[in-house]
Amino acid sequence: MKNQLKILMILTSSATMGETNKSTGLWFEELATPYYAFLDAGASVTLASIEGGPAPIDPRSVKAGGENEASVDRFLVDETASKALNETLPVCAIDISEYDAVFLPGGHGTMWDLPESAELAVLLRKAWADGKVIAAVCHGPAGLVNVKDENGVPLVSGRRVTCFSDSEERAAGLDEAVPFPLETRLRELGGRYESIADFQPFAIADGRLITGQNPASSALTAKLMLEALNGGEVL
């Protein structure tokens, strides 16, 4: 890389599923795997969240050390990464002009606060208008549902996209818990939705918009993002 890439990762601040006491948050592997893919490629990474401060981790996504995905175990013993996760910047304090790309990890928490954040919608609209790469994985595309392009059209309209499928939501037993079915919403917004078999790795790059289907797709989503940033086709 001629110049160090600067990547912004925006996380959920929702620790519960709406008004219930059911715990949720960020799916740890969807943060950790892209985080290290970016760092190991020589990029700098900044962690932000909707509200700032400690970002909640879905307790279902982390086990004792040695029992997680390699990236999660690496994150758990990484003091710099852990500090960043506990001191995320609030979206409202971000100057998107300082970054080359934005990545939205998933976790069910995203379904509540990402679509409701006007600050996030404004930030992503500006990022898109400024020619930056935007990527999201699993439930991360919930952050795209209220984003419009420079013509005032939903960002996903007419573009190939994926996300945690309605079928996967039913398989997870949370189709009645989420505020809306994400696949259905992307389709309603005009997104050209695609997916493969439940819980298999799948990601799509449609120019500067990159989306991944599920937790198994985080590495592939990060790979496509780096390719877009390093001379791949960026429209």
pLDDT tens by residue, 109-131? 999 999 999 999 999 999 999 99
pLDDT reported for residue 219 = 98
In the DSSP assignment, the letter for residue 62 is -
Please name the amino acid found at residue 20. T
- pLDDT band of residue 2 (cuts 50, 70, 90) is low
pLDDT reported for residue 3 = 84
In this prediction, residues 2-28 reach a mean pLDDT of: 95
pLDDT reported for residue 233 = 42
In this prediction, residues 15-35 reach a mean pLDDT of: 97
pLDDT reported for residue 116 = 97
Active site includes 139?
A: yes
pLDDT digits (tens, 9 = 90+) for 67-105: 999 999 999 999 999 999 999 999 999 999 999 999 999
| Spatial distance between the Cα atoms of 5 and 183, rounded to a whole number of angstroms | 31
pLDDT reported for residue 231 = 76
Catalytic-role residue among 30, 139, 168, 183: 139
pLDDT reported for residue 232 = 54
**What residues contact 89, with CB distance under 8 A and at least 6 apart?**
46, 47, 48, 49, 52
In this prediction, residues 144-172 reach a mean pLDDT of: 97
- pLDDT band of residue 212 (cuts 50, 70, 90) is very high
pLDDT reported for residue 37 = 98
Q: Which CATH number fits domain 6-229: 3.40.50.10860, 3.40.50.1820, 3.40.50.880, 3.40.50.410?
A: 3.40.50.880
Active site includes 188?
A: no
In this prediction, residues 13-33 reach a mean pLDDT of: 97
pLDDT digits (tens, 9 = 90+) for 184-211: 999 999 999 999 999 999 999 999 999 9
pTM of the model: 0.97
pLDDT reported for residue 67 = 96
In this prediction, residues 131-159 reach a mean pLDDT of: 98
Q: What is the length of the chain?
A: 235
Please name the amino acid found at residue 204. I
Residue-wise burial string across 41-79, b where 16 or more C-beta atoms lie within 10 A, e elsewhere: bebebebbbbbbeebbbbeebbeeeeebbebbbebbebe
pLDDT reported for residue 235 = 38
Tell me what the pLDDT averaged over the chain comes to. 96
Catalytic-role residue among 69, 168, 169, 183: 169
| Domain-wise residue ranges, the chain | 6-229
Catalytic-role residue among 138, 163, 168, 183: 138
